[in-house]
A and B are shown apart, each in its own frame.
Chain A
Amino acid sequence: MNAIEVTGLTKRFGQKLVVNNVSLKVKSGEIVGFLGPNGSGKTTSIRMMCGLLKPDNGHGQVLGYDLIKDRLRIKSQVGYMTQKFSFYEDLTIEENLSFVARLYNLAPIKKHTTETLEKLGLLSRRKQLAGELSGGWKQRLALAACTMHKPKLLLLDEPTAGVDPKARRDFWEEIHRLAADGMTVLVSTHYMDEAERCHRITYISYGNLLADGSLHDVIASAGLHTYTLTGPDLEGFIPALQADDGVQQIAPFGNALHVTGTDPQALKRALKPLEQHNDIRIEQAETNLEDVFIKFMSDSTDNMQ
């Protein structure tokens, strides 16, 4: 069964089309990455899927319940972690957790709260105000709080924004543990390394779904060919390369330049002049996700104009 199966989701705020005809399927037990630049409609889509926003158009099912009619039932079986920390900063860690336990009627309250505190490793700090926690701990608290009622589907909206790399890795390990227990996870992010940790990725840009599939599928579907240039003073060649029709984008990666294009012949022709320089190495490389996203982003800004 699919945990999420929605078709044609559309949402406008005033005149602005924020989500345009987005269809999405998420299989049970999958971890799906929901990617896209800021303002592309990720949060809005997630809110529609957990019943917080009414779609203007579109229909579908979440956990087998109708997206429009069964919003209350969806809410009780979905865990939603908001982009911004949205538990009570003026309540202690323990008070926040027992509040959630009471709302979901998780009896006995005390036992559920203590277990969650133990799992979090916050038992000794349970009397601390949530507002005093660091960003990383806040995220872990929020994740623990919204998985307390053992939801079947977890919706995470940029859960690791502004969190240090170590805390991010721990966070992802927790997500994989939850998925292994059978939870379905839809997580929005714009970190590439996080996208690579997902079973499947979905790319949305300015309301439009641009790609959907495994990492390899998405990279392959972009139809990009990439060369890596290494050598001294590469910056000097950038203007000439940019002017060439065969080159679609140039992106620096450390000391190297990634030059990509859709037409392999044209790309080769564009790089020809550089072959005279002996100190520059030109190698065909595998296109990575970041190249693909940069292409998506520049394509869709073109569409915007």
Chain B
Amino acid sequence: MSSVFSLQRLFAMLIKEFIQMRRDRITFAMMLGIPLIQLVLFGYAINNDPRGLPTALVALANDPYSRAAITALENSQYFKFTATGLSPSEARTLMRKGDVTFVVTIPSDFAKQAEAGRPNALIEADATDPAASGAAVASAPVIIERAVASVKEKNPSLKQDLLRSSTIIHRKYNPEGITQYNIVPGLLGVILQLTLVMMTSISLTRETERGTMENLLAMPASPFEIMCGKVLPYLVVGAVQVAVVLTAGRILFHIPFQGDLTLLIGAILVFVVALILLGYFISTIARTQMQAMQMTFFFFLPSLLLSGFMFPYAGMPGWAQELGEIFPLTHFLRVVRAVMLKGADWSEVSSSVYALFVFVGVLLILALKRFKRTLD
């Protein structure tokens, strides 16, 4: 029996890990629950381009121009008039209470000003969450101008010229176009990172915390066997999660899949191995499961912010971009977005995949170096 590696002992470790994983209901629930919950939350609930925001209407005029403007605003789906026929002060009270996000005021001279080419509706927005109201506010002037123009067209005697500026495209302000298409592939990376790093680091620290590591080390299990015994089961967990996210993304959000599936799976595999090794490395430093958890989050949060998942990478200052490079997630996001959404091939993503390989190599060395055969 070789002292460094024996399949028999690895097999012993694997069986034990799978039994423990199966018995640990919470881990099991996390494995499937986190991907689904995050997917649904980010995919449905967290929307950076919200529609149907509650709006109060203060209409001080009733003429074809104002009626057209109001209908156009409503048709844009950004605004949903939940309160009408209010006085200006009533409307403002509603906004203070948070019942409405916008107050649209049509002044009494709206028709006269519209005919002069200066439709002067007032839109007040609750800007406490700029992201929530930004797109709607940006689009409102255009919507109103268009509505006014269409009324004027029916009356050729009026001057038409002042309305040509009405073709602004509001999406310009959203360079990476944050929609579900962009978020779901990103979520794949985030979910894998959160669950795999945490579960691996916790599962090994648990052995230290419960004292079973001492026993394991006293028996003839080598560090390499213990490491493989811990790493391989989580590879399976990762595979299940990938399948869940990709299938759900397809079914729930109709995410297009442009690229090569083999290439994507290859990149995912390298990323997952890097994550598990990172979890393993954390567990060689942390003494308790609590510490392992804290270290996971210490790593998780900045990577979320700097990887380009939350904020467009291109929009970050140079130092932040450089900092972002030290997270495997940054490189993984580039690959997964390019392959899934843009149909990129190997030559276009190879540098990011190589970066992931570098993480694997470095973490493997660190993990094996830190793992101790003794309890010192």
Q: Mark B347-376, 1 if CB is under 8 A from A, else 0.
A: 000000000000000000000000001111
Flag whether B15 is at the interface (Cβ < 8 A). Answer: yes
Given contact pairs A82-B215, A88-B212, A99-B15, a sample of 9 additional A-B residue pairs in the complex whose CB atoms are under 8 Å apart: A47-B214, A52-B218, A84-B211, A85-B211, A90-B19, A91-B16, A100-B219, A102-B12, A103-B9
- In the complex the two chains form, is B16's CB within 8 Å of A95's CB? yes
Known pairs A53-B374, A95-B19; A87 contacts B215 (CB<8 A): yes
- In the complex the two chains form, is A76's CB within 8 Å of B220's CB? yes
Chain B interface, number of residues (Cβ within 8 angstroms): 28
Flag whether A241 is at the interface (Cβ < 8 A). Answer: no
Tell me, in angstroms, the Cα distance from A104 to B15 when the chains sit together: 15
Interface pairs (11), CB distance under 8 Å:
A47-B214, A51-B374, A52-B217, A53-B374, A86-B215, A91-B16, A91-B19, A100-B219, A103-B9, A103-B12, A104-B219
- A103 contact set on B, CB distance < 8 A: 9, 12, 219-221
How many interface residues does chain A have, given as a range?
20 to 34
Tell me, in angstroms, the Cα distance from A195 to B12 when the chains sit together: 37
Task: Give the interface centre of A73, A91, A95, A103 by most chain B CB atoms within 10 Å.
Answer: A103
Q: CB < 8 Å: which of B16, B23, B210 contacts A99?
A: B16
Tell me, in angstroms, the Cα distance from A45 to B92 when the chains sit together: 78
Tell me, in angstroms, the Cα distance from A104 to B225 when the chains sit together: 13
**Quick one: closest A residue to B21, CB to CB?**
A90
**Quick one: closest A residue to B22, CB to CB?**
A90
Q: Mark A29-65, 1 if CB is under 8 A from B, else 0.
A: 0000000000000000001001111100000000000
Q: Mark B204-217, 1 if CB is under 8 A from A, else 0.
A: 00000011101101
- In the complex the two chains form, is A82's CB within 8 Å of B214's CB? yes
Tell me, in angstroms, the Cα distance from A105 to B211 when the chains sit together: 23
**Quick one: closest B residue to A71, CB to CB?**
B373
- In the complex the two chains form, is A90's CB within 8 Å of B23's CB? yes
Flag whether A133 is at the interface (Cβ < 8 A). Answer: no
- A268 contact set on B, CB distance < 8 A: none
Flag whether B1 is at the interface (Cβ < 8 A). Answer: yes
Flag whether B3 is at the interface (Cβ < 8 A). Answer: yes
Tell me, rounded to whole Å, the shortest Cβ–Cβ distance linking B373 to chain A. 7
Known pairs A72-B3, A75-B219; A87 contacts B16 (CB<8 A): no
**What is the interface of chain B, defined by CB distance below 8 A to chain A?**
1, 3, 6, 8-9, 11-12, 15-16, 19-20, 23-24, 210-212, 214-215, 217-222, 373-376
Known pairs A47-B375, A72-B220; A90 contacts B20 (CB<8 A): yes
Q: CB < 8 Å: which of B23, B24, B212, B220 contacts A104?
A: B220
Tell me, in angstroms, the Cα distance from A78 to B6 when the chains sit together: 19
**Quick one: closest A residue to B8, CB to CB?**
A105
Known pairs A90-B20, A103-B12, A105-B1; A80 contacts B220 (CB<8 A): no
- A86 contact set on B, CB distance < 8 A: 210-212, 214-215
- In the complex the two chains form, is B23's CB within 8 Å of A53's CB? no
- In the complex the two chains form, is B218's CB within 8 Å of A75's CB? yes
Tell me, in angstroms, the Cα distance from A50 to B218 when the chains sit together: 7
Tell me, rounded to whole Å, the shortest Cβ–Cβ distance linking B45 to chain A. 35
Tell me, rounded to whole Å, the shortest Cβ–Cβ distance linking A184 to chain B. 16
Tell me, in angstroms, the Cα distance from A95 to B210 when the chains sit together: 18
Tell me, in angstroms, the Cα distance from A291 to B1 when the chains sit together: 50
- B214 contact set on A, CB distance < 8 A: 47, 52, 82, 86
- B12 contact set on A, CB distance < 8 A: 99, 102-103
Tell me, in angstroms, the Cα distance from A209 to B320 when the chains sit together: 59
**Quick one: closest B residue to A129, CB to CB?**
B23
- B19 contact set on A, CB distance < 8 A: 90-91, 95
Q: CB < 8 Å: which of B15, B210, B212, B373 contacts A102?
A: B15
Tell me, in angstroms, the Cα distance from A84 to B376 when the chains sit together: 18
Tell me, in angstroms, the Cα distance from A126 to B330 when the chains sit together: 49
Q: CB < 8 Å: which of A73, A80, A95, A105 contacts B6?
A: A105
**Quick one: closest A residue to B23, CB to CB?**
A90
- In the complex the two chains form, is B20's CB within 8 Å of A91's CB? yes
**Quick one: closest B residue to A99, CB to CB?**
B16
- A84 contact set on B, CB distance < 8 A: 211
Tell me, in angstroms, the Cα distance from A204 to B19 when the chains sit together: 41
- B219 contact set on A, CB distance < 8 A: 75, 100, 103-104
**Quick one: closest A residue to B225, CB to CB?**
A103
Tell me, rounded to whole Å, the shortest Cβ–Cβ distance linking B22 to chain A. 10
Tell me, in angstroms, the Cα distance from A47 to B211 when the chains sit together: 13
3 smallest CB-CB distances across A and B, nearest first, come from A102-B12, A86-B215, A80-B218
- A90 contact set on B, CB distance < 8 A: 19-20, 23-24
- B211 contact set on A, CB distance < 8 A: 82, 84-86
